[in-house]
């Protein structure tokens, strides 16, 4: 985890950074609490003042020929990525390990500065903004390894103590975690350790999702947990997202094709580039598409089921438009 080291080093100059040890926590922190101090990325920029107060009101994202490497000398993790995501669109991001999926989140939150190209949200070039504006506005991320803050559950949900208990319970209800928290000694005041080890990975992700929801983001990036989220927890997360994020732009990095087969579009990443982007059913009509290849690789019953989900979702989408 080179970037962890790099970012941790960058962070030790920030005031609260000493306990930040993992990239996940940095991602979280970046999206919810503090700016990372780094000379080339000031917390404030002149352009911030000109920014509409409700930016990003729509949550549309444009990547134009974006290249990024984690450190000089390392290969490009994004290599000329170009794609546009519409306001309120739900896009699943798939591709092999190392294709650059998580790096898309890093570029959006400017955890790593891009080397060339442009990332725009609602038409605003992120590089013209200070980090405060990029991370403090209505963008949120749920990282691959969800990490809770040390201390009470309340603090993990609402690190800046901006919300009422009622609001906290309401989001816990939405993500189907209210009962779990009610069952804890101390409820919202129950202590969790830094790694959140008293919660399962799935529960931690639900809590991170609850935290993201409290911020009512216009743009949410969900980096699906790879490890040991049981199917039940996975379904809970997906249900909660579907319910709560209808009009929010949603980018979901999916490790299971299941998760995103009924999304509006799927972006297949390959070697840091967009190999293709399109509605799942449409891509699956093309036998040589990258998505078809991925589904065929799985094959069998599961492959058929995936195609079926895509087909049904396409016909519902068609019915809605009529």
Ligand X SMILES: Nc1ncnc2c1ncn2[C@@H]1O[C@H](COP(=O)(O)OP(=O)(O)O)[C@@H](O)[C@H]1O
248 touches Mg ion by CB under 5 A: no
Q: How far is the CB of 23 from ligand X (least distance, A)?
A: 6
CA-CA distance, 81 to 318, in Å (whole number)?
29
Q: What is the DSSP letter of 57?
A: S
Residues 133-172 interacting with Mg ion (rule: CB under 5 A) = none
186: left (phi over 0), alpha (psi -120 to 50) or beta: left
CA-CA distance, 68 to 66, in Å (whole number)?
7
| Given 77, 229, 233, 295, the residue binding ligand X (CB under 6 A) | 77
Nearest to 14 by CA among 38, 42, 32: 38
Binder of residue 98, out of Mg ion, ligand X, none (CB less than 5 to 8 A by kind): ligand X
24 touches Mg ion by CB under 5 A: no
Q: How far is the CB of 4 from ligand X (least distance, A)?
A: 6
Binder of residue 252, out of Mg ion, ligand X, none (CB less than 5 to 8 A by kind): none
DSSP 258-280: HHHTTSSEEEEEETTEEEEEE-H
Binder of residue 74, out of Mg ion, ligand X, none (CB less than 5 to 8 A by kind): ligand X
User: H-helix or E-strand containing 66?
Assistant: strand 61-68
Residues 80-109 interacting with ligand X (rule: CB under 6 A) = 95, 97-103
205 touches Mg ion by CB under 5 A: no
DSSP 74-123: SPPSEEEEEEEE-TT-EEEEE-STTSSHHHHHHHHTTSS--SEEEEEETT
Nearest to 253 by CA among 16, 26, 27, 35: 27
Helix (H, G, I), strand (E, B) or coil at 283: helix
Q: How far is the CB of 101 from ligand X (least distance, A)?
A: 3
CA-CA distance, 234 to 250, in Å (whole number)?
17
Q: Which is nearer to ligand X, 176 or 224 (CB)?
A: 224
Q: How far is the CB of 194 from ligand X (least distance, A)?
A: 20
CA-CA distance, 73 to 10, in Å (whole number)?
19
Binder of residue 304, out of Mg ion, ligand X, none (CB less than 5 to 8 A by kind): none
User: H-helix or E-strand containing 118?
Assistant: strand 116-121
Binder of residue 306, out of ligand X, Mg ion, none (CB less than 5 to 8 A by kind): none
Q: Which is nearer to ligand X, 101 or 154 (CB)?
A: 101
Q: How far is the CB of 222 from ligand X (least distance, A)?
A: 13
Q: Which is nearer to ligand X, 143 or 202 (CB)?
A: 143
| Given 50, 74, 182, 232, the residue binding ligand X (CB under 6 A) | 74
Structure tokens at 232: 């039940």
Q: How far is the CB of 208 from ligand X (least distance, A)?
A: 17
Tell me how many residues contact ligand X (CB under 6 A). 14
Structure tokens at 68: 């990024």
Helix (H, G, I), strand (E, B) or coil at 117: strand
CA-CA distance, 166 to 182, in Å (whole number)?
13
The site string for Mg ion over 88-127 (x = CB under 5 A, - otherwise) reads -------------xx-------------------------
Nearest to 45 by CA among 169, 139, 134, 177: 134
Q: How far is the CB of 144 from ligand X (least distance, A)?
A: 8
Binder of residue 3, out of ligand X, Mg ion, none (CB less than 5 to 8 A by kind): ligand X
Residues forming contacts to ligand X in the complex (CB under 6 A) are 1-3, 70, 74, 77, 95, 97-103
Residues forming contacts to Mg ion in the complex (CB under 5 A) are 101-102
């Amino acid at each position: 985890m080179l970037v962890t080291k790099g970012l941790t080093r960058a962070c030790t100059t920030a005031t609260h950074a000493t306990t930040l040890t993992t990239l996940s926590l940095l991602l979280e922190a970046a999206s919810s609490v503090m700016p990372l101090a780094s000379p080339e990325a000031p917390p404030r920029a002149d352009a911030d003042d000109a920014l509409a107060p409700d930016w990003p009101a729509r949550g549309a994202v444009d990547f134009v020929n974006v290249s990024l490497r984690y450190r000089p000398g390392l290969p490009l993790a994004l290599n000329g990525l170009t794609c546009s995501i519409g306001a309120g669109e739900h896009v699943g991001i798939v591709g092999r390990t190392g294709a650059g999926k998580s790096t898309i989140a890093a570029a959006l939150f400017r955890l790593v500065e891009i080397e060339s190209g442009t990332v725009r949200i609602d038409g605003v070039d992120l590089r013209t903004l200070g980090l405060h504006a990029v991370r403090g506005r209505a963008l949120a991320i749920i990282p691959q390894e969800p990490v809770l803050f040390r201390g009470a559950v309340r603090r993990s949900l609402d690190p800046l103590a901006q919300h009422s208990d009622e609001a906290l319970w309401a989001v816990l209800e939405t993500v189907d975690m209210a009962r779990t928290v009610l069952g804890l000694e101390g409820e919202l005041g129950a202590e969790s350790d830094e790694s959140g080890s008293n919660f399962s990975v799935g529960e931690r992700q639900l809590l991170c999702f609850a935290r993201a929801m409290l911020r009512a983001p216009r743009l949410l990036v969900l980096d699906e947990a790879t490890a040991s989220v049981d199917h039940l927890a996975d379904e809970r997360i997906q249900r909660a997202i579907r319910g709560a994020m209808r009009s929010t732009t949603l980018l979901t990095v999916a490790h299971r094709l299941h998760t995103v087969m009924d999304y509006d579009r799927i972006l297949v990443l390959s070697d840091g580039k967009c190999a293709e982007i399109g509605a799942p059913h449409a891509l699956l009509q093309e036998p040589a598409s990258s998505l078809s290849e991925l589904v065929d690789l799985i094959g069998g019953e599961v492959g058929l089921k995936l195609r079926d989900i895509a087909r049904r979702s396409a016909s519902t989408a068609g019915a809605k438009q009529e």
